[in-house]
Each structure stands twice: as C-alpha cells, then as structure tokens.
Structure 1
Amino acid sequence: MKPEFGHSVELKEFGCCNEHFEFESGPKFKLKSFKNYADHFKRQYFVKEDQITASNFNSDAMQMLSEPSIPDIEGEYWRIIENPTEEIEVLHGNTTETSASQSGFPLKTNPRDVTACPQYVESGWNLNNTPKLQDSLLRFESCNSSSILLPRLSIGMCFSSNHWRIEEHHLYLLSYIHFGAPRIFYGVPGSHRCKFEEAVKKHLPQLSAHPCLLQNLATQFSPSILTSEGIPVYRCVQNPKEFVLILPGAYHAEFDSGFNCYEAVNFAPFDWLPHGQNAVELYREQDRKTSISHDKLLLEAAAEAIRALGELALRNKNSFDDSKWRRVCPNYGYLTKALKVSLYSPL
C-alpha cells in the first residue's frame, strides 16, 4: 500500500566536498513535486551532451538515454566520494517518523485500512507491528517514552545517502521499499565492528577524539578501503517490494539510485539481548544517553516468563508461546544469561 502525502515533506540537503558530507535543512516539497525534481536531476546528471541532437530530442528518447544502470550509478557515486572534482547537492526526506505522516503500511487506527486489507493490518511484516511482536522485547517499551518503536518513512533521490552506522542499541533493523528506484546496501558483520572502527580511525584520525561519531558517522567511507584492511563488506541491491534485514551490531550504509519511498523500523528478538548489553556498556563508557531502558526490557520479559511458566506447570500443556519460554529460560538460554550478566555487571 502506498503512503498518502497530503502535506509537505521536509527534506534535508547535503553537499559532498572532499571526504565528508555536510547536512543542512532543505526546502519543503509535496511528493509529486519532489519526484519531478529528483527525476530531472537524474536525467540531467547522466545524459551526455553529444547524445542530444535536434532530431532525437523528445521525451521518450531522453528517458532511454538518461536511464543509467545500477553499476553506472554506483560507480559514479563512489567516484564522487573517493575523487571529488565538484560539489554535488541532493535532497533527502530522512527519518520522518510515521506519527507525523502516514505510514506506507495499513494502520489499525484507520477504519478504511482495517476494512480494505485486514490481513495486512495485523501482519508481522507490517512495520507498524514489527517492534511490538510477541517475540520482540521492544513490546515492553512504552510508545510515549520512546520513538524507537515508530517506523521511519523516507523519500530518496539519486545519490541520497545514509552513512556508515550501527543501529541504536545495536537493534535489528527491517527496511522496506514501497515504490521507486532500488537502494544499494553495504554491510560489515558485527564480528568485525572493532576492526571497522580501527580502520576509520586510521584513515580519518580526526574522528578519534569523538568516539560516538563511530556509532553514527557523519562521513561516508569507501568499501574498497575497508576491504584493503581485510574487513569483509557485503553488498545487496534492494528493489521495490523487498525487505532488507540488518543484524545487531553490523555497520551498514546505503544510497538511493533514484526517486523512491522506503520505510524502516527496529525490533529486538531474544537473541538481541547480548548485543543490547554490549551497547549499554559501550554507551556508559562514552557517557552517551540511551534511547531505551535495557534493564526494563529484561525485567519485564523475566516477569512474563515466570507467569507463563507458572501457568504451564498448572495446565501441563504445550503451546508455541510456552516453547518460546522453554528455549530462552534454561541456564544457557538468552534470557537467563542476560539476567546473570546484568546482575553481575558493574554499575
């Protein structure tokens, strides 16, 4: 289901110069106006002057001439990053919380959605539901106290980017393109997080004085540099109607190949718990504020586990929900181990 924009979308612009990006507040657009702007930029950027003659200058011919391939766009993007010869300015409607706009997925609060597509309203793949699924610990977090439960709706254009970063609290991320051009993702496994940060400090030593920037970089970094340091970098192309899943603690970056609309949200199954504990300890070292209470999620889950296992003992019956608690509560289960670590970790 496509999102409806009856209001202006505020977009951010950035200029690429030397080895960094600069962000500024940009103008306001409605979706159709922004699509026209994005399509015009892409067409003008990639068309070659010697391809345009008086005999072939028509809209159909221009469209064929100016539609570059994904490898062409990707090559040009990294040329701009690695060997900048000019300043490029693009717009990006970034991380618009869906409480302030319409989600691209059906909403339980919209009677029309409930009537038209009830199966999608309740689906776990509906990003409005994903953070609060039964197996996601974020369901113990309050919507009033944390915006991390809300999907973020974004509008992109050719070359608009999200830079290398780890999700807040090293949470899982699920991303979906509603419509438009593909996105190109790059990822470094969480097991190579420290090596990634060492490589960034080596090549950009000015960031060493600001360790929190390594969690949410304001700098783009070429995959070729990372691979030269022995760091594995994985790439995927996300097309419309496809999901991309980012695992906990993984550095990732992406950029858009043209006008598109996408949405993303965090969630936290039980196997996230050790990653969440690592994030809490890291934030403590960096004197950085947390976005969610790890202890609250942990204790709420433990309390529910005690209730569920107590009812199971009385009923002496098994269900899918009961088997979940049996998996996470033994001595080596995720919940039990996380409780032990939290209890014995230094304040």
Structure 2
Amino acid sequence: MSKTYLIVAEHRDGKLRRVSLEALRAATDCADAGDEIHAALLGEGLDSLAAELAGYALAQVHAIESEELRHYNPEAYVRALMPLLESLRPAGLFLGHTAIGRDLAPALAARLSAGQISDVTAIERDGGNIVFVRPLYAGKAIERKVFTAYPQVVTVRASNIPAAEPRADGGSADIAKRAEAPAADLRTVVREVVRKTAGKIDLAEARIVVSGGRGVKSAEGFRPLEELAGLLGGAVGASRGACDAGYCDYGLQIGQTGKVVTPEIYIACGISGAIQHLAGMSGSRIIVAINKDPEAPIFQIADFGIVGDLFEVVPLLTQAFRQALA
C-alpha cells in the first residue's frame, strides 16, 4: 500500500532554506516506489516560492497563505497545517532541525500522536527497516533508531543529508493554494521580527564559518573575522564565552546551548575548545584552529592548527585568500 510523506518547507527573505531541500531528500530516501511526497509552504505572497518548489520531485505543493503566517507563530502554524495533515494522513512528516523545526515538530507530533526522531544526520536501510542516525552526547556517540508505527515526525540537521535536486525532466508539481481565514482567538500575534544579527548567509547553512572566542578580546576584534568570512562567502560565528563577554550577539553562538553547524570549513579563532562549543561544530568537514596556546583542546580535533596570534594570522590568511581568488 502506497504511503504519503509531507515536507514543511521553510523560507527566509523570499528564498527557500536549503535544509528544506535536505528534508525533501530525507523523505525521498524513505519513500518506496509508488509513494507520494507533498510539500507545505506557509506565509504570504508564496507564488514564486511555490513555483520553485514545484520544480522538485513532488506530487503537490500546498501553499497556505495568511497575514498571520507572515512570521512564524507556532499556534498559527499548527492550526494552518492540521487540516492538511488530516486530509493527507501522511506516514511521515519531515522538517529541518532549525529553530522553527525544533519548535513545530513536537507540537505536530503531539497532535498526531506520532513518534518523533530529532536531529537526524543520515538515513540507512537495514533490510525492511529504515534507520535514522543521530548524534548523542555532543557527538561522542551515534544512535540508530527505527519507528515502530506510523505516523512519524523527523527533523533533519542542516548540511548533513544532500539536498534534493530539481526534476531532470523539467516537469512541475501541482500547486494547491489555500487562503487561511484570520483567527480571532490566537493567544499570540507576531507583528514584526527584528534581527539583531543581519548576516547575508544563514549560519546554520553556511559552507564556511569563521568563528571567534574570548581570544578576540572585544567586539572590534571580530572585524578581521568578518572580513575573512565575507571574502570566502562564509558566515561569522562565536563561542558562548565571546557572547557572554558581550563581544557579539547570542544569535551567533555555536555550541551545546547555541546553534549546531556542519560547514565544509570551520575556522576557529581564539577558541579554546570547551566541550560545550565542540558539541556545536565537531561535525565540520575540515576544522582549522588558530590559537596562541599550543595546548588548547581545540587542536585535538583540528585538521589544521596554527599556533599564533589571531590578529596576525587572520589578516595574513585574508591577504593570501584575496590573492588566490584574484
């Protein structure tokens, strides 16, 4: 008997988030021949996003529009999605393991009386079972879990599962539009979202991250890191120590109590390597550590280490990359 899977696709500043395409790939890996995959978009003015998403291997894109959905509101999102979930009765629901996904997934799982597996980094097949792989204990252990019943709710960690590719045949999925009527009894209404950190690149999805710790010494000390990240098309992150010291906003924090990143290259500048920070970046493909202390724990996991003053090393790296990219 064929099954249906549903992706809740996120978007930001008029663009689909890459993690949503990774969630689509995860659903595809779980689906068998004859199964259908649908996607849900919520917000305002979704025509171009829906058309873009329809270019992927989907049976249908459901565009749910309302002024109340312009900004993420958990109560409004759950209300808007429940009629679709009751209609499709999906075997699996897939979201990105983002701030929104981590908040929305358990709420939907509770409504559906569904099991949930969070922070999935890989999907394997073991005979007739689909195995979901996720890290534990700050990446020190790996857990492999299977569901025993449907429906299933899964969140996917960014930059671990390859993103889905557009359809090769140039076809397009059907787009179903639904206007959500305003709800008078919402307990909370989000009028505006103000971002303190307005980076051009989403930290969680950046391919290159240049991160600073207490060793940057001040807010001004992040300037060389920002210059290097900008040159490489990357994002700037920080340790909790740098955030606690007031050098930068907590929106940049990477670690056990911050964001989890898995970039291609992670450049740690003035970061000692506390276990709480390693929990948020140890899965990076290549780790470069810059620290004056040759005994800093960060060097134990670094692929490349530079013992030196970051205020001397980072400008030299920036100069070298600028010459190489010229």
Fold agreement, TM-score > 0.5 = no
The two structures have a TM-score, normalised by structure 1, of: 0.27
* Structure label with greater radius of gyration: 1
Higher strand share: 2
The two structures have a TM-score, normalised by structure 2, of: 0.29
